[in-house]
Amino acid sequence: MRIATWNVNSITARLPRLLAWLESSGTDVLCLQEAKIAEAQFPFDQLRELGYEAAVNATGRWNGVAVLSRVGLADVVKGLPGDPGYDGAEEPRAVFATCGPVRVCSVYVPNGREVDHPHYAYKLRWFEALKAAVAGDAAGGRPFAVLGDYNVAPTDDDVYDVAAFEGLTHVTPAERAALASLREAGLADVVPRPLKYDHPYTYWDYRQLAFPKNRGMRIDLVYGNEPFAKAVTDSYVDREERKGKGASDHAPVVVDLDV
């Protein structure tokens, strides 16, 4: 079984690449982030033609998450119980679904913007709500994983130059502690380092030739419980999908399971 996560940075802009990638990659379940589309406009028909059902939590604008599956889709839950919300509104940043023998949660963790910005405090509160929401599945006997854009680099080695991020979000002790709290709940990073190259980054800014210069970050993660981790047989970052015209600024992260 092949499961992947990909921040597509607008499913409308990326649809031709998404459909081609689904056909070529052999992916059974794909967790998407930054759909940037309302659920009513989501491309259900095009995905159905390829054999995929979709569970979507999206309202347009900047957020939106989804789970695409060709191995079944059940027990869909949108959002987090106790979601703290931002500026008076709950944002579409999480969706759970059971796909065959595996349960997944697709997440788009708040960016945080700046350390002294209210969005940063919201990010930390959102992590607390996420931990509470996944605790039961994490402790269960069924393979379960939280996949998505966490907007946190777990270690200094997960950014091209930690000095370039001094005083910025994504690398602060508080954000990394929030990520560690998920591990305390029974989840672990199932994508080992190094992979087939020294720095398996998953995100490169569009500006200043960041991708050709490999000035990236590893912020798209797969955190699985023990049954999920034990089933992993391989994993990789599909760096090729970051290349070329019309690419997302994130690459897909792929995990193979023997379930």
Binding residues for Mg(2+): 7, 34, 149, 151, 249-250
Task: Find the length of the chain.
Answer: 259
Is 149 known to be catalytic?
Answer: yes
- Residue numbers in the known binding site are 7, 34, 149, 151, 249-250
Catalytic residue among 137, 149, 158, 220: 149
Look at residue 15 and give its three-state secondary structure.
helix
202: left (phi over 0), alpha (psi -120 to 50) or beta: alpha
52 is catalytic: no
Whether 117 is catalytic is: no
Q: How far apart are CA 102 and CA 96, in angstroms?
A: 11
Active-site hit among 52, 108, 120, 160: 108
As a whole number of angstroms, the distance between CA 38 and CA 160 comes to: 34
Nearest to 48 by CA among 73, 25, 31, 12: 73
96, 93, 131, 95: which is closest to 112 by C-alpha? 93
Residues annotated catalytic, as ranges: 108, 149, 250
